[in-house]
Amino acid sequence: MRAARRAARSAAPAPSRSQDLTNNPVLQWGLFNAFILAMLALDLVVFHRRPHAVKFKEAIGWTAFWVGLAVLFAIGVYCFRGTKAGTEFVAGYLIEESLSVDNLFVFLLIFRYFKVPQELQHGVLFWGIIGALVMRLGFILAGVALLERFHWLIYGFAAILIVSGIRLWAEKDKEIEPEKNPLTRLARRVFPVTKEFHGPAFFLRRSGGLAATPLFIVLVSLETTDLVFAVDSIPAVLAITRDPFIVYSSNAFAVLGLRSLYFALSGIMQLFHHLHYGLSAILVFVGLKMLLERYWHISTAWSLGIIAGILGLSIVASIIWPEKKGPGA
């Protein structure tokens, strides 16, 4: 009997490296986070060690770099995790990237409101994105755990998406007042704030103690903005997949490319004046998909096609029907 068991074990094929990676979530998370940290360190220490204004050509190059990395990662997911996981990653990434474009409008308004010098914008976005990654990881893990334990919460997430989509559709011009932000007001109460920027520093040592610079207030405003957007975007990806690794990795790649995308589009963002209608339709579609999943299943591939189609139509509509400006505009 023992000889037969030994023979069976020896005859069984040894697990391949791809199977080891697929079946080892700790290894997946460890490798992915190590890669993200390496890329952030390379960005901060090597390429953007000195603050400078990011020009269009440089921004386009970095945007292509991050999109290329996302494409390579998607290919890796297809190879190691299969077609379903690969399609889910692409759909999640497309949702996050498209919703992030709307986020960029708010970033632009915040920078204009606080009159942030161009050479300081990349640095504050860098630290804002690190905070966004940490916050989103917590949101994702909590969201997946809650949905697994309380399935009825899916209807709450669906309602959030549909209501947000309707509100976005009705939104004409964005008006922000960062000084009314509760977290911004709290930061001003906790720390005295200098009147002028002091390079890339967030805090200064003074005789009276620690003082914050206006750049720290900008950082708080950016983090609050991302927190609000995460409430919409993360449930939208959870409607595509409940795999926390796929949800987080698609979020991470979209967020990491957000800085370069901002500098690439900052001069032409106003041209996409119909984009918010497309984003609104995407939110409503994903919310309805989540709401009706039990009765009407839409495959991930179809969802990906619908989302891409809506996004493309809104961009084409912005080009064909440019915004009409009044006299003297």
267-289: per-residue pLDDT in tens? 666 667 777 788 788 888 888 88
| Residues forming a β-bridge with 203 | 212
106-158: per-residue pLDDT in tens? 787 788 888 888 888 888 888 888 888 888 888 888 888 887 787 777 788 78
**In terms of Cα–Cα distance, which of 248, 326, 208, 245 is closest to 22?**
245
* pLDDT bucket at 12, cuts 50 / 70 / 90: very low
Give the start-to-end residue ranges of the domains of the chain.
Answer: 54-320
**In terms of Cα–Cα distance, which of 45, 256, 25 is closest to 141?**
25
Q: Are strands 203-206 and 209-212 parallel, antiparallel or unpaired?
A: antiparallel
* pLDDT bucket at 297, cuts 50 / 70 / 90: confident
What's 193's DSSP letter? Answer: B
* pLDDT bucket at 71, cuts 50 / 70 / 90: very high
Average pLDDT over the chain, rounded to an integer: 78
Examine the pLDDT at 187 and tell me if it is beyond 90.
Answer: no
Total-model pTM: 0.74
The share of the chain scoring above pLDDT 70, in percent, equals 82
* pLDDT bucket at 73, cuts 50 / 70 / 90: very high
Q: At what angle do helices 244-256 and 83-114 cross, to 10 degrees?
A: 40
DSSP string, 195-232: SS--TT-SEEEETTEEEE-HHHHHHHHHHHHHHHHHHH
13-48: per-residue pLDDT in tens? 544 455 555 567 788 888 888 888 888 887 766 666
**In terms of Cα–Cα distance, which of 64, 82, 73, 63 is closest to 31?**
73
pLDDT value, residue 19: 53
| Residues forming a β-bridge with 209 | 206
Other CB atoms within a 10 A radius of the CB of residue 97 amount to 21
**For residues 62-90, average pLDDT:** 90
* pLDDT bucket at 8, cuts 50 / 70 / 90: very low
Examine the pLDDT at 239 and tell me if it is beyond 50.
Answer: yes
**For residues 237-255, average pLDDT:** 88
Contact 235, 135 (CB under 8 A): no
Backbone angles phi, psi at 211, to 5 degrees: -125, 145
Phi-psi region of 78 (alpha: psi -120 to 50; beta: other; left: phi over 0): alpha
What's 53's DSSP letter? Answer: P
Examine the pLDDT at 328 and tell me if it is beyond 50.
Answer: no
Higher per-residue pLDDT: 10 or 52: 52
**In terms of Cα–Cα distance, which of 214, 266, 217, 306 is closest to 103?**
266
**For residues 48-60, average pLDDT:** 74
**For residues 167-185, average pLDDT:** 69
